[in-house]
Amino acid sequence: MIPFVERLRRGVILADGAWGSMLMSRGLPPNQSPETWTLERPEILRAIAREYLEAGAEILTTNTFGGTTLALSRHRLEQRAVEINATGVAILRDIAEGRAYVSASIGPTGRLLAPLGDLRPDAAEAAFAAQIETIAEAGADLLCIETMSDPAEAVLAIHAAKRVAPALPVIATMTFELTPRGPYTLMGTSVEAAARLLAEAGADVVGANCGEGVRQMTVVAEAFAAHSRLPVAIRPNAGLPLRQGRQLVYAELPEDFAKAAAALLQPGVAVLGGCCGTTPAHIRALRSVLAARV
């Protein structure tokens, strides 16, 4: 495959959809770390990756979202961090086979940085660096620092990436909520500020993921289009989850999701995919929307 940064210049790249909610639909208990299934149920990860690849995804995302030692410690898995991250990349490398880019997911540590919390910035950056070093050695094509609410944590992750894996492109996305003043993160960061801070830290692509659904994300995409000088990645949820018995159900069906997602294709949007609640069917429907624009 051509280098990812070059591919960005050739048109919108279709990413895959959710992994956590897909694993839950295959039986992952709600209180269990998704990363455990990288080691215990790799056949399920392979099956999901194949489904996304067959749906048309050009980016496959590793099951390493909570793969820092800090995040894994909540499940007493920190001693298996290297194994989890290396195996997560290896599973997708086998499936991608030159047909898709392997994007290593890097999520928040789950702890607040000082002074709001007790996590020292240097400890957070060290945790990100350790995860990224393993991911890079395992053969990931790019890094996706995602679902960040605190720009300071996102910046630390980007700095770690540029220090230990400078050759890997970095997508950095944050999560926004709509307020009367526009979209802001839980930490009070605007899209304009996020776009600037992520770019200054060294991200190659900036944007947003998760959120309340496609229509809310349209406002975020428009704001990034107005304020970002870098390519933009947008990956909305399939609406907000509703609990039905023991299961979470997402309201936006694939066809409705894809139809509404056409409005996300603002100038500068270079990566489009899904987040929580999206499935291979959602990605297949998005592929049809993109094909119709060619």
Helix (H, G, I), strand (E, B) or coil at 138: helix
Per residue, the 3-state secondary structure of 34-45, as one string, reads CCHHHHHCHHHH
Question: For residue 148, what is the domain's CATH number?
Answer: 3.20.20.330
pLDDT band at 193, cuts 50/70/90? very high
The whole-number pLDDT of residue 141 equals 98
pLDDT band at 191, cuts 50/70/90? very high
Q: Please state, in angstroms and as integers, the Cα–Cα distance from residue 207 to each residue in 45, 71, 107, 160, following that order.
A: 26, 23, 14, 19
Q: What are 43-100's pLDDT values in tens digits?
A: 999 999 999 999 999 999 999 999 999 999 999 999 999 999 999 999 999 999 999 9
Q: Which domain holds residue 126?
A: 4-292
The whole-number pLDDT of residue 294 equals 65
Q: At what angle do helices 121-138 and 151-164 cross, to 10 degrees?
A: 50
Provide the Cα torsion 134, 55, 239, 274; round to 10°.
30
Helix (H, G, I), strand (E, B) or coil at 53: helix
Question: Considering the chain, what percentage of its residues have pLDDT values greater than 70?
Answer: 99
The whole-number pLDDT of residue 240 equals 80
Residue 285 has pLDDT above 90, yes or no: yes
Q: What are 177-190's pLDDT values in tens digits?
A: 999 999 999 999 99
The H-or-E segment that residue 118 falls in is none
Alpha carbon of residue 21 to chain centroid: 13
The H-or-E segment that residue 235 falls in is strand 232-236
The whole-number pLDDT of residue 293 equals 80
Domain count, the chain: 1
Classify residue 242 as exposed, middle or buried by CB count within 10 Å of its CB (0-12, 13-18, 19+).
Answer: exposed
The whole-angstrom separation of Cα 60 and Cα 19 is: 10
Task: Give the pairing of strands 241-244 and 177-179.
Answer: unpaired
Q: What are 225-276's pLDDT values in tens digits?
A: 999 999 999 999 998 878 777 677 888 899 999 999 999 999 999 999 999 9
pTM of the entire structure?
0.96
Mean of per-residue pLDDT scores for the chain:
96
φ and ψ at residue 209, rounded to 5 degrees: -140, 170
